[in-house]
């Protein structure tokens, strides 16, 4: 168990180092940091002096090591566009993105698994066919279009939900700000959460359905039926648990995608999160923010991967090598 | 004679497909008496397993029993509702599947699966069910059952898993056990042990066994009677020694000829030429006639019915001995000559 | 002998496919919709009532004309109305779809070339080349392709001088979307190459000295065209959506040459003032395009039934 975790953590560090290398290359070689920091009128001597002061003439690995050292301390430099420390910019916007991503992820998982199981069990039913058809449209519908259409229906025509922003936000200790504690904050979350979660929901639903149909054909399900177990025990006790093993992996990885897809949703709803910050940085070629965002996303992916692996380990006894661990379930 | 425990009469199982209706079983009739072992043989795809599925009511949709009836202790069970059928499964009819590696849910312990099954059918507490489960595991030959019960399926070898499967099939004391190729997936070295275990434990509990296999050797050692199935139809049924020594149907004769140990006087094994027809390509008349070495013109047009056999020696009808062949007199005589 | 066998197989395969197609009303409908959209886009200059890229043909007085209504100032009437600059919405949709399809098709072709090339090399050479290529593919696959495309787009913009950014924008877009989507092709082609490589006819061809390039293109590529076609069809739908998304986010094509995504972005700004047609019609066009291509891809996958993953 410990060896397993250590090996996983080691792999994660390798991935992070690779991403850091890409991130550093981006930071260092896309555009000229000096040109981006000084005005037009700065003399060549001043530029050379600044170049030296920034250590841009040092050997590659020295620069990379410095970049890594700074990154570990949360220092990604100054944003070209906003002239503020990048880390502060990201941290102040992180709560908005995380709240949105977690709520959408939860919605996507709950409804995705629910609809997936339903359509697998009632394969030929009318409602199942309707859900499947809608899901195909859901997959084809670009996320931004879903958002725009939701705004049109619920904000413009019905005027029952806000179309932009986070609503009223409450500051919590530790620098966290939450919209979950105020009515306007919660109302503001609804449309973005649906927009962001819908695509993931259809993916999870289709996956659960396919897996469940596969599992329902398995011998142990036939044997469970042949022993006279109730449909409920067969479907939800035996089939669902086996279905969820692969679903957990994909869903975990989807959570990472959600944070990335938040870029689109945040733009549509002018949600003050990290994604909107990133897209503005891409537009303005604000390289330090792009590099930091890349590292942040990679970190989130790596952490989620780690959690998924551990979950997998907890759910599937076949992965547990030592026998004693299996006795309690 | 008392009523048979299980009785199938003219059972037809059909699968509607895009290219028309396939008949997986066509007019299957057989009886199983309480406590006896009935062997069910035939080559792959003949419909042996389908008979098992039909009895326990687990034919995969869209397949269905189109006509005929199945009775358990005189009560019809082919037309029961889902919940009534469920109450029979496990409780009155147990089933053992072919592959023990895939028959057990990998995510639950043996205890979980046994206790769940026992408590579904018997009014006992979890603790009582667990005690019963341990006793049963002990009986099927799992060493240190009290400790091993909390293991997961992947902790057991194939032979041990099949013992667990047998325990699961028997844990609610059924009167009938359907064993569908219970040893095919196992090592040759443990096959005999598992068959012996199955036979002994069922005899102990007075449960009848329908043993589905393509292994005539197993049938010869284990079964009381044997039914031969070909292309979804009955070819022959009768007491094991009778059928083995004096096969009436040309197909049965071919089957016997292909067993090494039973025909020592023959220099070489006999092969039945050709292959069993696909279900959508069964010819008119006798399904076997294209491969039959004694077929006549009539065999291609007239479908033979199951008929009571006339014993060659005594010239009288032998009880419980049926075959479906137009040339029955001819073949019975031939078989008789071979046997005597 | 080999050629004749594969020839007859191909024919049976295609007749089966054709039969399957006629039997699927969804596929036929999707094909009809996709085909008419593609034709409309290709012939946009002939079909469109006006050229929305030509500033001279625009009249700001025509702006915000609702569909099939006479404009209060100019008396002009447009089937689908006009946008804020007085551009005919139908014309912008036709030209926009043309641009969206162009970017989509080019991006798919680029991804296909890249993926097939990488797959062939990785499968044929094996060893460290294979390891490196597939590692890169694995890492890239674990990130959403829209994020990859955004990053590549951002990097490319950083590398291009600011005054050339708008003129290069479409090609940057094509490369970004193409680079974000090559992995699937590479995987399928690689595994097929590894299987075929060890077959006797390939060994025989190698022994008699047939060049690897010839073996790869003549013998191995035809074997993977089915799955590649499926990936490409679904990939086209994804590329169209990706282009629309990037343009909607304001990092895609320049606003002077709007694609469907840009049109939706413009339309969203006028939702609250009630000019719904500026949004709705481009949205319907995009949805019809993406959905019909997607359905075709779905059908093709089921019909060919290759193991995609």
| Residue in chain C nearest A152 by alpha carbon | C271
Q: Residue C200 sits in a domain of what CATH number? A: 1.10.3720.10
CB contact at 8 A, A288 and A299? no
Say if residue A225 is exposed, middle or buried (CB neighbours under 10 Å; 0-12, 13-18, 19+): buried
Answer yes or no: is pLDDT of B336 > 50.
no
CB contact at 8 A, B42 and B215? no
Tokens standing for residue B189: 């070295």
**Mean pLDDT (whole number) for A228-243:** 89
CB-CB under 8 Å, B89 with A237:
no
Number of domains in chain C: 1
CB-CB under 8 Å, B107 with A315:
yes
**Rounded-to-integer distance, Cα A66 and Cα A68, Å:** 5
Is the peptide bond between B62 and the residue preceding it cis, with omega within 30 degrees of 0?
A: yes
Q: Is the CB of residue B133 less than 8 Å away from at least one CB of chain A? A: no
- Of C259, C75, A313, nearest in space to A305 by CA: A313
CB-CB under 8 Å, A152 with C276:
yes
To the nearest whole angstrom, how far is the Cα of A112 from the nearest Cα of chain C?
19
* C78 located within any domain: no
| Residue in chain A nearest B153 by alpha carbon | A318
Tokens standing for residue A292: 């930091």
Q: Residue A141 sits in a domain of what CATH number? A: 1.10.3720.10
* Percent above pLDDT 90 for chain C: 9
Tell me the CB-side half-sphere exposure of residue B149, using CA atoms within 13 A.
Answer: 22
- Of B223, B227, B176, B220, nearest in space to B37 by CA: B223
The confidence band for C12, taking pLDDT boundaries of 50, 70 and 90, is low
**Rounded-to-integer distance, Cα C106 and Cα C125, Å:** 28
Query: B129-157, pLDDT tens digit by residue?
Result: 999 999 999 999 899 989 999 999 989 98
Task: Identify the residue with better confidence: A206 or C66.
Answer: A206
To the nearest whole angstrom, how far is the Cα of C66 from the nearest Cα of chain A?
17
Say if residue B228 is exposed, middle or buried (CB neighbours under 10 Å; 0-12, 13-18, 19+): buried
**Mean pLDDT (whole number) for B228-254:** 88
Strand partners, B330: none
Q: How far apart are the first and last CA of chain A?
A: 17
Answer yes or no: is pLDDT of A323 > 50.
no
Q: What is the pLDDT of residue C76?
A: 73
Query: B201-212, pLDDT tens digit by residue?
Result: 898 888 999 999
For Cα atoms A205, A206, A212, give the angle at the middle one, nearest 5 degrees: 85
Neighbours of chain C (3+ CB pairs under 8 A): A
The confidence band for C3, taking pLDDT boundaries of 50, 70 and 90, is low
Answer yes or no: is pLDDT of B334 > 50.
no
Number of domains in chain A: 1
* Percent above pLDDT 90 for chain A: 11
Q: How far is CA A202 from CA A118, A214, A244, B58, B109, in A?
A: 13, 18, 16, 32, 33
Strand partners, B228: B41, B236
Task: Identify the residue with better confidence: A196 or C17.
Answer: A196
Which of the residue ranges A85-94, A310-319, B193-202 would you say has the lowest mean pLDDT? A310-319
Backbone angles phi, psi at B225, to 5 degrees: -130, 165
**Rounded-to-integer distance, Cα A271 and Cα A278, Å:** 12
- Containing H/E element for B317? strand B317-323
Q: What is the dihedral of CA B266, B269, B274, B275, to 10 degrees?
A: 120
CB-CB under 8 Å, B82 with A227:
no
Q: What is the pLDDT of residue C300?
A: 82
Classified by CATH at the fold level, domain B6-223 comes out as Rossmann fold (3.40.50)
Q: What is the pLDDT of residue C262?
A: 86
* A7 located within any domain: no
- Of B325, B319, B323, nearest in space to B33 by CA: B319
**Mean pLDDT (whole number) for C272-297:** 86
The confidence band for C252, taking pLDDT boundaries of 50, 70 and 90, is confident
Task: Identify the residue with better confidence: A318 or B213.
Answer: B213
Answer yes or no: is pLDDT of C305 > 90.
no
A-B contacts at Cβ under 8 angstroms: 92
CB-CB under 8 Å, A279 with C250:
yes
Answer yes or no: is pLDDT of A253 > 90.
no
Answer yes or no: is pLDDT of B338 > 50.
no
Task: Identify the residue with better confidence: C294 or A315.
Answer: C294
Strand partners, A178: A170
Query: A47-59, pLDDT tens digit by residue?
Result: 788 777 777 777 8
Answer yes or no: is pLDDT of A158 > 50.
yes
Residue that has been written with the tokens 């046994």 in this structure: B114
**Mean pLDDT (whole number) for B170-190:** 88
Q: What is the pLDDT of residue B226?
A: 92
Answer yes or no: is pLDDT of B177 > 90.
yes
The confidence band for B312, taking pLDDT boundaries of 50, 70 and 90, is low
| Residue in chain A nearest B98 by alpha carbon | A219
Q: Residues for chain A: how many in total? A: 329
CB contact at 8 A, A223 and B90? no
- Containing H/E element for C234? helix C221-248
Tokens standing for residue A282: 């891409």
CB-CB under 8 Å, C244 with A144:
yes
Q: Which residues contact C178 (CB under 8 A, 6 or more apart)?
A: C106, C107, C108, C109, C110, C111, C114, C239
Range of the domain at C179: 24-47+89-308
**Mean pLDDT of all residues belonging to chain A:** 83
| Residue in chain C nearest A252 by alpha carbon | C142
Q: What is the pLDDT of residue A26?
A: 79
Q: Residues for chain B: how many in total? A: 340
Q: What is the pLDDT of residue C103?
A: 92
- Of B11, B32, B14, nearest in space to B23 by CA: B14
Q: What is the pLDDT of residue C306?
A: 45
Range of the domain at A100: 96-271
Helices (H), chain A: 2-29, 33-37, 44-53, 60-72, 86-121, 126-140, 143-150, 183-216, 219-226, 231-232, 240-268, 274-283, 287-315
* A134 located within any domain: yes
Highest mean pLDDT among A134-143, A186-195, C50-59: A186-195
* C182 located within any domain: yes
**Mean pLDDT (whole number) for A86-92:** 89
CB-CB under 8 Å, A282 with C154:
yes
Highest mean pLDDT among A136-150, B151-165, C43-57, C221-235: B151-165
* A114 located within any domain: yes
Name which of C158, C237, C245 is nearest A264 (Cβ-Cβ): C245
Pairing relation of β-strands B176-180 and B93-96?
Answer: parallel
* Percent above pLDDT 70 for chain B: 89
User: Could you tell me the residue ranges of all domains in chain B?
Assistant: 6-223, 238-336
What is residue B222's three-state secondary structure? helix
The confidence band for C167, taking pLDDT boundaries of 50, 70 and 90, is confident
**Mean pLDDT (whole number) for A113-138:** 86
* A198 located within any domain: yes
In a mutational test of the A interface, the residue from C24, C143, C180 whose CB has the highest number of chain A CBs within 10 Å is: C143
**Rounded-to-integer distance, Cα B303 and Cα B253, Å:** 19
Q: Residues for chain C: how many in total? A: 309
Answer yes or no: is pLDDT of A3 > 90.
no
Q: What is the pLDDT of residue B337?
A: 37
Answer yes or no: is pLDDT of B2 > 80.
no
- Of B128, B127, B122, nearest in space to B170 by CA: B122
Answer yes or no: is pLDDT of B48 > 80.
yes
CB-CB under 8 Å, C157 with A136:
no
């Amino acid at each position: 168990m410990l060896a397993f975790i250590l090996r996983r953590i080691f792999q994660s560090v390798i991935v992070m180092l690779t991403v850091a290398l890409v991130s550093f290359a981006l930071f260092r070689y896309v555009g000229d940091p000096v040109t981006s920091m000084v005005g037009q009128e700065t003399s060549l001597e001043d530029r050379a002096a600044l170049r030296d002061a920034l250590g841009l003439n040092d050997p590659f690995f020295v620069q990379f090591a410095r970049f890594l050292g700074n990154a570990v301390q949360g220092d990604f430099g100054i944003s070209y566009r906003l002239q503020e420390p990048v880390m502060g910019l990201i941290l102040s916007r992180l709560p908005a993105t995380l709240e949105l991503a977690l709520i959408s992820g939860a919605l996507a998982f709950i409804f995705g698994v629910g609809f997936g199981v339903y359509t697998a069990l009632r394969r030929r039913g009318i409602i199942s066919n309707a859900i499947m058809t809608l899901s195909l449209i859901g997959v084809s519908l670009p996320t931004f279009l879903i958002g725009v259409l939701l705004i049109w229906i619920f904000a413009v025509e019905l005027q029952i939900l806000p179309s932009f922003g986070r609503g009223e936000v409450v500051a919590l200790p530790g620098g966290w700000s939450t919209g979950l504690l105020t009515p306007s904050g919660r109302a503001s979350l609804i449309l973005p959460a649906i927009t962001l979660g819908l695509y993931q929901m259809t993916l999870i639903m289709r996956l659960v359905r396919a897996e469940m149909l596969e599992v329902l054909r398995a011998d142990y399900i036939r044997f469970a039926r042949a022993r006279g177990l109730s449909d409920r025990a067969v479907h939800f006790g035996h089939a669902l648990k086996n279905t969820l093993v692969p679903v957990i992996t994909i869903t975990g990885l989807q959570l990472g995608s959600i944070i990335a897809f938040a870029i689109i949703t945040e733009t549509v709803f002018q949600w003050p999160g990290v994604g909107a910050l990133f897209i503005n940085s891409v537009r303005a070629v604000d390289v330090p923010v792009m590099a930091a965002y890349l590292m942040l996303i990679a970190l989130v992916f790596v952490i989620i991967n780690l959690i998924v692996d551990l979950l997998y380990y907890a759910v599937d006894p076949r992965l547990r090598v030592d026998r004693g661990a299996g006795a309690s379930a | 004679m008392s009523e048979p425990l299980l009785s199938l009469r003219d059972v037809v199982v059909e699968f509607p497909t895009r290219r028309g209706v396939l008949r997986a079983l066509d007019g299957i009739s057989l009886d199983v008496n309480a406590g006896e072992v009935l062997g069910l043989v035939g080559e792959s795809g003949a419909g042996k397993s389908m008979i098992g599925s039909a009895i326990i009511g687990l034919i995969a949709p869209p397949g269905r029993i189109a006509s005929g009836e199945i009775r358990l202790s005189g009560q019809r069970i082919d037309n029961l509702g889902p919940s009534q059928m469920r109450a029979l499964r496990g409780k009155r009819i147990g089933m053992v599947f072919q592959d023990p590696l895939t028959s057990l849910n990998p995510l639950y312990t043996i205890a979980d699966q046994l206790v769940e099954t026992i408590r579904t059918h018997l009014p006992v507490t979890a603790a009582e069910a667990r005690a019963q489960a341990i006793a049963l595991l002990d009986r099927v030959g799992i060493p240190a059952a009290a400790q091993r019960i909390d293991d997961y399926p992947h902790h057991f070898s194939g032979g041990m898993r099949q013992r667990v499967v047998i325990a699961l099939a028997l844990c609610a004391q059924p009167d009938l056990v359907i064993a569908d190729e219970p040893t095919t997936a196992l090592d040759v070295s443990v096959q005999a042990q598992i068959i012996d275990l199955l036979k002994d434990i069922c005899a102990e509990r007075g449960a009848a066994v329908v043993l589905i296999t393509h292994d005539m050797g197993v049938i010869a050692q284990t079964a009381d009677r044997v039914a031969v199935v070909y292309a979804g139809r009955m070819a022959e049924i009768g007491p094991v020694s009778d059928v083995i020594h004096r096969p009436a149907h040309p197909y049965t004769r071919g089957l016997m000829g292909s067993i090494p140990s039973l025909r020592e006087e023959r220099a070489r094994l006999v092969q039945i030429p050709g292959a069993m027809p696909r279900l959508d390509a069964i010819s008119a008349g006798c399904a076997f006639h294209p491969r039959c070495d004694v077929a006549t013109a009539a065999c291609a047009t007239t479908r033979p019915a199951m008929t009571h056999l006339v014993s060659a020696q005594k010239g009288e009808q032998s009880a419980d001995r049926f075959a479906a062949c137009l040339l029955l007199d001819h073949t019975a005589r031939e078989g008789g000559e071979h046997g005597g | 002998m080999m050629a004749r066998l594969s020839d007859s197989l191909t024919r049976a395969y295609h007749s089966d496919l054709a039969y399957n197609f006629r039997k699927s009303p969804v596929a036929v409908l999707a094909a009809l919709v996709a085909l008419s959209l593609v034709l409309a886009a290709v012939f946009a200059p002939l079909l469109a009532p006006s050229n929305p890229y030509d500033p001279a043909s625009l009249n700001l007085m025509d702006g915000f004309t609702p569909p099939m209504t006479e404009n209060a100032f100019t008396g002009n009437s447009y089937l689908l109305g006009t946008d804020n600059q007085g551009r005919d919405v139908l014309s912008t949709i036709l030209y926009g779809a043309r641009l969206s399809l162009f970017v989509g098709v080019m991006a798919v072709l680029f991804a296909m070339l890249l993926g097939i090339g990488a797959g062939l090399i990785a499968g044929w050479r094996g060893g460290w080349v294979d390891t490196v290529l597939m590692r890169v593919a694995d890492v890239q696959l674990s990130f959403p392709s829209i994020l990859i495309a955004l990053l590549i787009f951002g990097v490319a913009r950083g590398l291009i001088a600011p005054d050339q950014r708008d003129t290069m924008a479409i090609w940057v877009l094509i490369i970004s979307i193409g680079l974000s989507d090559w992995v699937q092709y590479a995987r399928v082609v690689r595994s097929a190459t590894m299987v075929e490589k060890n077959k006797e006819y390939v060994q025989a061809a190698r022994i008699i000295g047939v060049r690897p390039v010839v073996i790869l293109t003549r013998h191995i590529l035809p074997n993977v065209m089915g799955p590649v076609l499926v990936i490409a069809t679904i990939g086209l739908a994804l590329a169209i959506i990706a282009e629309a998304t990037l343009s909607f986010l304001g990092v895609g094509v320049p606003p002077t040459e709007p694609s469907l995504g840009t049109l939706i972005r413009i339309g969203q700004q006028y939702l609250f003032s009630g000019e719904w047609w500026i949004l709705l019609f481009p949205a319907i066009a995009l949805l019809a395009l993406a959905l019909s291509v997607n359905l075709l891809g779905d059908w093709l996958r089921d019909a060919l039934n290759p193991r995609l993953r």
